[in-house]
Structures are given as structure tokens and as C-alpha cells.
A = this chain, B = another copy of it.
Amino acid sequence: MDAAEFRKRGKEMVDYVADYLEKIDKRQVFPDVEPGYLRPLIPDCAPQDPESFEDVFKDIEKIIMPGVTHWHSPYFFAYFPAASSFPALLADMLCGGIGCVGFSWAASPACTELETVMLDWLGKMINLPEEFLAGKDGQGGGVIQGSASEATLISLLAARTKTIRRVQSENPELTEAEIMGRLVAYASDQFCATLGTTPCCSFDRLLELGPICNKENIWMHIDAAYAGSAFICPEFRHLLNGVEFADSFNFNPHKWLLVNFDCSAMWVKKRSDLIGAFKLEPLYLQHHHQERFRSLKLWFVLRMYGVTGLQEHIRKHVRLSHQFEHLVLQDERFEICAEVVLGLVCFRLKGSNELNKALLKSINEAKKIHLVPCYLREKFVLRFAVCSRTVESTHVKFAWQHISQLATDLLQTWEHDDHQQ
């Protein structure tokens, strides 16, 4: 394929993607296929000779789409949102075209520099303490990671290196191995200090944890993967109070800030802690630290939405989760299982775990909407996460009426079965 054909096919693909997203509400949100559906549909091995774009293109609807869970459908309320927007898609096209690898300044200066400045923009949007920003000559700064767990791993390694050096300087008689044997990482069952946990979007108390960590020389990392995007709204910023005690902080614009995967934003107060932990071969750089030009996505999204546009997006999702919460509360058969702070509602039928498992099963088997569950203090709970960029009040109302009707049907059978036994 040469540039001329790419121009033609690229434009066809733009239309395909626009069509897909424009009419995604017409597709069944969860697919009908069974495990193993795909292998029989395609050849056993790669073709020897080139196939045409048309051949490949027609297989998208024939082979791929029947097996896609439509994350951007307004009827998708599972997991947490996967961010997506048109400006981010455009930036990704540019990123692919440039195709640079940004593992050092020289490998692509624009890539390295835009990332630093964009993380300063983003840090200011959530009112991060100045210490976390790079500015012209600050000691802090942000970098883009692939995921929140990548950020956690990097924090852990940086903390380990820093602690070993400190202990070694205080106790020169100890070997590195001896110090390693004494290191302790404190974590809850959500791992590190977390703002907006996955099951129910609960918040650790930074103002209690922070001073202890600082006093005891413990590296504090805060994971706000989902919730962090909400801090761009002043009314939610208080949830981040205490971040001033942290050494590192992370949230995922690729979850809730309309920046397509992957873009996990991580800040540290001292960039030297990261650089010290990852000593790089100074002469040539191994290709192991490859990264694409991911900051382009942030640049496009932050500029084309503006802060107000992004705040509207967050506020719409929070408003819709409260709308759903109110609908649940009006139905005495149901209960809300955790405080609704942002875009997630945890709810269940008053009754056994088995009853709620049966309800979820009937919801996901009907495939009109899609939800996933969690356990909260051993109770099986349904999670209603406001996810899609295009979800509106009508979709939330539809979802609730549908759930409510399935509950009615289920309770009839359930009681009937109960009586029979």
C-alpha cells in the first residue's frame, strides 16, 4: 500500500469509525458469540501473498464486530469508562504517522517536551501543589505511563532505591541485601493510598495517612486512576486534599478525561527519585523504554474541549449517576450499597447474594445493557458505572426501567420457586 492508496483507504476508515460511533446505540452492547467463535472463521495461517484492503475491510463487520463488546455504547455501564473522543482519535492518527520513539530527549525532543508541559497543564487543572510541577526549573514533574499499575510499580521501585540509599548512608555497615531484607511496603487490599477504589469508588483518608508517612519516611503513592479526572471540577477537588503529603500521584485521563487509551498521568515531587531508580545506559539507549507520542492526545483534547468542556463531561456523568441513585432509592425492593460520590452507583435487591446474582445474570443475558458486579463486605452488589461519552438521561431511565422489570420478573419466579421448595 502506497501513500496514494492510504489517502483513499484512510478516508474510508475515518467514515467507518464515524459511522460506528454515530450509530453505536443501534448495536447490541454485548455480543452473542461463544468462546472460540473466531478461530473457525479465519484461515489457519497468514497468507503467502498480499490480500487487498477490500478483503480485510469486509471482514471487520463479518468477523470482528460480532465479537465486540461495545464500550462506547450509551448502554454500557460496566467496569469504569474507557475514555474516547474525536480529538483524541485525530491525535492518535498523527502520533501513528510521526511514529517516533520517545525514550530520550534526542530520540524525539518534541515528544519529551510536550509531555512535560502537558502534565503541567493537567496538574494545574486539578490544582496539584506546585511541587509536583516541572515548570521551568522545578524539581517535580509528570510523565505519562501506560496504566495505573505501571505507575504503582515505578513508584515502588523509586521508593525502594531511595530508601536503600537513605538507610545505607545512615548505616554504612549494612549491605544492600541486608537492607532489602528489612524493607516493608504498607498496603490495604486496594494496595496503596487510593482515591476512588474500583469496587465502590471509596476514598482513603489522605489527611490521616499522609502525616504518618512523612514522619516515618515512608514513600506515599496515591492512585486515583478513575476519580482523578473529577478533580478538575472545584466541587470535587476537596477529595484530593492531603496530596501535599504524597511523593507520587497518579490518575488516568484514559479513563474519564476523554483521552483514548493509553494515557496514565503520574507526578512526582522529585524527578531525581525516578531517574535515580532507573539508571539508563548513557551511551545508546536500549529500546526497552519505548514510548509513543502520547502527549499529543492530551494536547488535542485539552485544547479542543477546553477546561469547561471537560468539566461539563464530568458533571454530566456525576449528574446521571445521581439520577440512577434516585431511581433506585424510590424502589423499596432495592438498596444503595455505597455513597455515590462520582459516576458509580453500587446497588442490589434487598435479599440474598443468589437473588442478586440471578438479577445480574438476567440483565446481562438480555444484553440490552451491560453491568459487572463486585463484592462489598461479602455482599454481592451490582455496579452501575456511567461510562459512555454520549450517554444521556434517557439511557439511564431506560436502564433503570429495564432492570426494574427484570427484577419484577425474577422476584415472581423466585418466590414461586421458593414456595415450591
Contacts and interface: CB of A to CB of B under 8 A. Distances in A.
Interface of A: 1-7, 9-11, 13-22, 30-31, 33, 35-39, 42, 44-53, 55-56, 60, 63-72, 79-80, 82, 84-90, 92-94, 96-101, 105-111, 113-114, 116-117, 120-122, 124-125, 136, 146-149, 198-199, 225-226, 252, 254-255, 260-262, 283-290, 292, 296, 299-300, 302-309, 372-375, 383
A40 to B, nearest CB: 9
B306 A374 contact: no
Given A71-B108, A84-B96, 6 more contacts: A6-B17, A6-B18, A38-B110, A71-B101, A79-B287, A93-B96
Nearest to A89: B96
Given A1-B304, A64-B114, A136-B39, A79 B7 contact: no
Contact of A149 (B80, B149, B288): B288
B86 A1 contact: yes
B136 A94 contact: no
A18 B8 CA distance: 10
A109 B67 contact: yes
A319 to B, nearest CB: 21
- Oligomeric state, in copies: 2
A82 B111 CA distance: 15
A401 to B, nearest CB: 24
A294 to B, nearest CB: 11
A117 B39 contact: yes
B56 A303 contact: yes
Interface secondary structure of A, over-half rule? helix
A101 B124 contact: no
Contacts of A304: 1, 50-53, 56
A189 to B, nearest CB: 10
A93 B10 contact: yes
Contacts of A22: 3
Contacts of A302: 46-47
B13 A7 contact: no
B97 A285 contact: no
A375 B282 CA distance: 11
B86 A3 contact: yes
Nearest to A264: B290
Contacts of A124: 44-46
A180 to B, nearest CB: 10
Contact of A50 (B42, B72, B107, B305): B305
